[in-house]
Structure 1
């Protein structure tokens, strides 16, 4: 099983279905035996990344891109299971499994990166006329500027075929409604935007005391990142992690939503010993600025020093 069995991330993109007007991609569960066993957790987890995506849609897209061939290479030098061209991978490739390398040939990186890139496109194309899911897929195939230029799916045979094939195949990967999980509670607009801000900082080097300003070259420490993320949406947090603990109510572990702050402490009975904070993105993962020498990244929250969570509130 993959190192990270999880990132419902989101959340990371922005909200749950309906918050930002996304078309939604399905009921959230895969049909049994529709995806190779070794990729089920990856697709199920990352397929819930944003309102426009679903596990079934992500599976249909990978089926179309490579037929689940992790070593596929096209005549245009699209590489790996998700068929990234090198330039796109350089910008959107993630080290999602935390092994220190963003590897286009590793499905544990490439499948999450495909979801992340799709949701980035979806966010960029919101407001373009037409179906937001179709526009997202068209952007993946033809580039977002073609979708913007033509006000929807561009009149390219390849792109129109790509969208049609994936939308049709999506149905075969979708579990019947009776098998689907209950709909998850959407995060607030503020939480969604805070998560999006944190996602935009992925790969930024850590800086002790960093607030992300010009004097810090855009770098953050852990609580500097969380403070800046919520500052973007008008919620003022204290500067240090153990003070941020008191910035709102404390949801239980099974009540976490994307955007919640998650805390880690030396003494699990004393909030004064909190030493680290991240922004929860779903599926047992957070985005955090971990320590000197590291970069802002995804990390699991299920560790022995997990202290609890806070849901920031205005005022």
Structure 2
């Protein structure tokens, strides 16, 4: 840790010349979906055993941003900060698993292990304090209303460089250390978010977990599919990634254990599954948008807390956005559920 209006030029999110495959297979579970918080998508085998319960507890502690401050993110942060070394010390004075600087610890440190004092070298104290600070940072960077700002990326940048740097630069600051820090953690989340048994848990949560693995992956027009990112065509020909509908197709296919293969285009995906009323929207549902007035040319995954996860457009990456953002709120929408 260092001391320290949305404009979207959205073409049809995937090419209509691609061959679409029909939705197949039977129904998946209809359990009430509680979202991706908790340990549903956490690969505990990658976490030192003595820290597992604390990581799960920390990942459930941020009620304001449960889809941002997740167990997998906290674990990925710790690997990037200290490599799971509880006695780590940096040349600039950061210490412990979560590499708190003394002034930051003085504000955010908690006595999680009930030893009588908050100690950054105590793993329980460090882990729970990290989640507490992350949660505050997520709220802080959200208040900046940064155009095209992914809360998770901005929160991580704030952890490394300080929230003021995020505000000043209106995004991830142009510091090589901070940009590398954010990129590394987003990549590490995949390591910690693949559940040991990917068939476990409600269907919607599995959809989210599989999509969240690819946060930070470039948008590629016509790229991606059930096997993961790929090169697209036209403006996506030189980019290995996903477009909006291929990300949804991938997430639903793997969430269903290969039982459901959605059509490839957003226009067809919004005709599959079953319609859902706005008041019944729950995490893992798919929202179709009419961005350009010519059919439903964009799709996104609802992840809870008023947020969507999607592949927005060329030049951007798989990231989150808020449904209340003026651009999305003003567009016609349709909601579908596939499980």
Q: What TM-score results when the alignment is normalised by the length of structure 1? A: 0.48
Bigger relative contact order (CA 8 A; separation at least 6): 2
